[in-house]
Amino acid sequence: MTGVLVAIGIVVLGVAVSAWRGLGLEREVGIAAARATVQLTVVGTIVTLVFEHVGLAAGFVGVMLTAAAITSGRRLHGISSPAGRAGAAIALGAATGLEPLLASGAFELTPRELIPVAGILIGGAMAATSLTGRRLLETIEDGLPGIEARLALGAGALEALAPAARRAVTTGLIPALDQTKNVGLVTLPGTFVGLVLGGADPAEAARIQLTVLLALLGVEVVAAAACAALVTRACVRPGERVEPSGG
């Protein structure tokens, strides 16, 4: 509890700095901190229950996936079924990582291992989906003359959109790539820190972190590619036309 109180003190310091420098972030930082406190308290209680009742674990993963789909879908406004498309990309990406990890025995199919690993993978897939999808829609809006130049030269709609999709996927994967390249040098990721703080051997913690980190990279690539494919198709109209929104 002391740690939480100290952390709250650090947030208060941040709020004070914001007020002192006139950044106007006091309210937003306060709300974010309050939300995190409430959500983690609730989640901690729920996860304790879920850990004791195996049947609830799958439902909890479903709730995580739904929340991720809704959050990412908000970034894709303007296309048809944004949450559905985001959810499909996130689910495909997360499943790509989760299934082999569970099937190989790297993690056990128990609530205690399933929920944290699924949470990390769904969270990573969500971030890649949001970034890729948003960037893709912006690129299509801004680059419509170039896309229509390709259409006018006889390209199909998907072919004309392919350069925008490639750029968006590259942008969407920057955080995952940077995090993977700089792990241990610039950042100590959460899994490693959590395990070490929990008393695990640092070498064992590093092994588990590496497993999660590499899986996460693959998951994000799949989610970003799936998101780009689903968003580009949402912008294609009959007659090989492209409309970035209004679908």
Partner 1 sequence: MPPDGPILAARGLRAERAGKAVLDGVDLDVPAGAVTALMGPSGSGKTSLLRCLVRLDEPVAGRVTFEGEDFRSLDACLLRRRVALVAQSPAMLPGDVRANLAYGLDIPQEDELHQALAAAGLPAELLDRDAARLSGGETARVAVARALTRSPRVLLLDEPTASLDGRAAAGIEALTVCLAARGLAVLVVTHDEAQSRRIASRAVRLLRGKVKEEGELAIVGGAR
Residue closer to partner 1, measured from CB, 134 or 150: 150
Q: Does residue 236 touch partner 1 according to CB under 8 A?
A: no
Please, what is the end-to-end C-alpha distance for the chain in angstroms?
50
In the set 136, 150, 209, 221, which binds partner 1 (CB under 8 A)?
150
Distance separating alpha carbons of residues 57 and 85, to the nearest angstrom = 24
Q: 196 burial class (0-12, 13-18, 19+ CB within 10 angstroms)? A: middle
Residue closer to partner 1, measured from CB, 153 or 203: 153
- Name the one range near partner 1 by CB under 8 A: 22-30, 44-52, 146-154, 205-213: 146-154
In the set 142, 159, 201, 204, which binds partner 1 (CB under 8 A)?
159
Distance separating alpha carbons of residues 127 and 131, to the nearest angstrom = 6
- Name the one range near partner 1 by CB under 8 A: 57-65, 88-96, 107-115, 143-151: 143-151
- Name the one range near partner 1 by CB under 8 A: 23-31, 65-73, 151-159, 187-195: 151-159
User: Rounded to whole angstroms, what are the CA distances from 176 to 13, 213, 219, 221, 240?
Assistant: 30, 9, 10, 9, 34
Which residue carries 């914001």 as its tokens?
Answer: 18
Instruction: Give the three-state DSSP class for 247.
Output: coil
| Number of residues engaging partner 1 in binding (CB under 8 A) | 18
Q: Does residue 239 touch partner 1 according to CB under 8 A?
A: yes
In the set 151, 176, 215, 217, which binds partner 1 (CB under 8 A)?
151
- Report residue 110: phi and psi, to 5°: -120, 155
Closest CB 160 distance from partner 1, rounded Å: 9
Q: Does residue 241 touch partner 1 according to CB under 8 A?
A: yes
- Name the one range near partner 1 by CB under 8 A: 66-74, 95-103, 172-180, 234-242: 234-242
The CA radius of gyration of the chain, in Å to the nearest whole number, is 21
Q: 52 burial class (0-12, 13-18, 19+ CB within 10 angstroms)? A: exposed
In the set 149, 177, 193, 197, which binds partner 1 (CB under 8 A)?
149
Task: Enumerate binding residues for partner 1 (CB under 8 A).
Answer: 145-146, 148-156, 159, 163, 237-241
